[in-house]
Structure 1
Amino acid sequence: MGPALKGLPDDACQCPHWGYVLKGGIRMRTAEGEQTYEEGQAYYWSPGHVPLIEEDTELVEFSPTEEFEKVIDHVVSQAGA
Structure 2
Amino acid sequence: MKKAKNELPTRLEAGGVCFQGQDWGDINVSRVRFPAGADATPLLEGLPNNLCQCPHWGTVVKGSIHVTYADGTEETVNAGEVYYWPPGHTVRVDEDYEAIEFSPSDQMGELMKHLEAKLKG
Q: Give the TM-score normalised by structure 2.
A: 0.65
* Higher relative strand content: 2
Q: Which has the larger radius of gyration?
A: 2
SS of match in other structure, 1:62: strand
Following TM superposition, where does structure 1 have runs of at least 4 consecutive aligned residues deviating by more than 4 angstroms?
A: none
Say if 2:81 is the partner of 1:41.
yes
**Aligned-partner Cα distance in 1 for 2:87–2:94:** 21
Query: What one-letter code is carried by the residue in structure 2 that aligns with 1:6?
Result: E
- Is 2:44 aligned against 1:16? no
Post-superposition offset of 1:7: 0.3
Question: Which runs of 5 or more structure 1 residues have no equivalent in the other structure?
Answer: none
How many residue pairs match? The answer is: 81
- TM-score normalised by structure 1 residue count: 0.95
Larger helix fraction of residues:
1
Separation in structure 2 between the aligned mates of residue 5 and residue 55 of structure 1, nearest angstrom: 20
State the alpha-carbon separation in 1 of the partners of residues 115 and 42 from structure 2. Answer: 9
**Is it true that 1:63 corresponds to 2:103 in the alignment?**
yes
- Counterpart in 2 of 1:80? 120
**Equivalent in the alignment of 1:31:** 70
Q: In the TM superposition, what is the alpha-carbon distance from 1:31 to its structure 2 partner?
A: 2.1
CA RMSD of aligned residues (A): 0.8
